[in-house]
Structure 1
């Protein structure tokens, strides 16, 4: 018979399972600092020895890491599932950028359709709050802040899709994007016209999500990423022209 005696679960194992679930669901993020041992044991209603035992197990499994004199963190290695060698290839080949955007188009189109179906009212409030912050940042003309909120807005839609595999795949990709592996997002926010257009594209995505219109959301995602492709190609061409201009200038100065 496929039965065995029921045994009470150790408190440390209950702690392990709770923290694992929070990481899996994307609530605890890579690099995030956990509360102090005292605060965490009080919040979870367990003794410090039980908590230490759980933390040790999570560290051994690679989910948590201790930083000397700083505390316990969710492992930063969870942010990217790509090897350093592959990351270098991504950074040095233009076709990786094109394929990255094509992949985002497919995955984010799926994400917004799922978010419109499965996202809770609170999920939509989170996304709306980030969009409001985007509007405020737009007025301040801070490229770094706008680029960061851009990523947070897109990730809020992925989170609202409630698919944990999609969540972690896209979080890894956005982690590489934040490091400038595919392209420098801040460049996209340096020109007024481009910044205005990007904000309006995000407004269309935002309105479709709030209306729970998956088809309109996918169309808005496609339009936005098509614009990104065009803007990046325009920047590449401008960079090529500038490189030639510098060579001409240096040659003229030498004569």
Structure 2
């Protein structure tokens, strides 16, 4: 590692979810909340900490993975038995909403480029991924793989190997925070909407409509972001 790179890593700003997690821990300590105590609602916490609901959810999930709180879907967030001072908040790369933001920048343009450049074989690969997502709707593991295949097939359809590498990298950033966020907040409505979104993206690419493909991809990724962020 070069000296410049090492210095850059030492001076890098901490991930936002770690900052939020630390502030929630401070709140737990200041209010002397005992194990089993219920934290204020997400809306109240976000207002008190002056952060977005998205950042709050990342921070809460980081604390859950660190053993400090327990997030119970539909019930709330509760202090765990482990003292807040002993938290081991995971540092696993960019947070889920950072990744979604980057994907919105990259994959919207990839969809538009695919509409211009996709070969018949590339279109068939995108269609195959859509069909596999529909077949594996109830199998979360297979459905996740088919989802990845869909987005990578679009990247391949651009004919730009660098874009394929970037999209693949972004998908590999799905760390423990991402998977827990998805487990807690992904709804059946989102799953069905994703299938419709993918069909719309495929249709726009197949008809060589770049602006429509860009728009359909953006609407899809924004829908996912809104759902995971609690409508924030």
TM-score bracket relative to the smaller structure = 0.5 to 0.7
Q: What is residue 111 of structure 1 aligned with on the other side?
A: 110
1:127 aligns with 2:126: yes
CA shift for structure 1 position 191: 3.1
1:171 aligns with 2:168: yes
Alignment check: 8 A CA contact 1:97 1:183 kept = no
CA shift for structure 1 position 118: 1.4
Alignment check: 8 A CA contact 1:109 1:218 kept = yes
CA shift for structure 1 position 213: 1.1
Q: Is the helix fraction higher in 1 or 2?
A: 1
Q: What is residue 227 of structure 1 aligned with on the other side?
A: 223
Alignment check: 8 A CA contact 1:144 1:186 kept = no
- TM-score, normalised by the number of residues in structure 1: 0.51
Alignment check: 8 A CA contact 1:112 1:217 kept = yes
Alignment check: 8 A CA contact 2:99 2:173 kept = no
CA shift for structure 1 position 99: 3.0
| Equivalent position to 2:210, from 201, 209, 214 | 214
Distance 1:115 1:188 in 2: 33
Q: What is residue 143 of structure 1 aligned with on the other side?
A: 140
Query: Compared with structure 1, are the counterparts of its residues 102 and 160 closer, same or farther at alpha carbon in structure 2 (3 Å cutoff)?
Result: same
- TM-score, normalised by the number of residues in structure 2: 0.56
Question: Can you give the 5+ residue segments of structure 2 that lack an aligned partner in the other structure?
Answer: 1-8, 20-54, 56-93
Alignment check: 8 A CA contact 2:185 2:228 kept = no
Distance 2:111 2:122 in 1: 12
Counterpart of 1:234 in 2: which secondary structure? Answer: coil
Deviations, residues 22-80 of structure 1 (Å, cap 9, x unaligned): xxxxxxxxxxxxxxxxxxxxxxxxxxxxxxxxxxxxxxxxxxxxxxxxxxxxxxxxxxx
CA shift for structure 1 position 184: 4.5
CA shift for structure 1 position 190: 5.6
Distance 2:131 2:148 in 1: 14
Identify the structure with bigger relative contact order (alpha carbons < 8 Å, sequence gap 6+): 2
Deviations, residues 133-156 of structure 1 (Å, cap 9, x unaligned): 111112xx1222212211110111
Distance 1:181 1:124 in 2: 33
* Alignment RMSD: 2.9
Alignment check: 8 A CA contact 1:208 1:214 kept = yes
Name whichever of 143-152 and 154-163 sits farther off. Answer: 143-152
Deviations, residues 152-178 of structure 1 (Å, cap 9, x unaligned): 10111011111121111221111122x
Distance 1:203 1:224 in 2: 11
Query: Compared with structure 1, are the counterparts of its residues 190 and 210 closer, same or farther at alpha carbon in structure 2 (3 Å cutoff)?
Result: same
Distance 1:105 1:203 in 2: 18
Counterpart of 2:159 in 1: which secondary structure? Answer: coil
CA shift for structure 1 position 212: 1.7
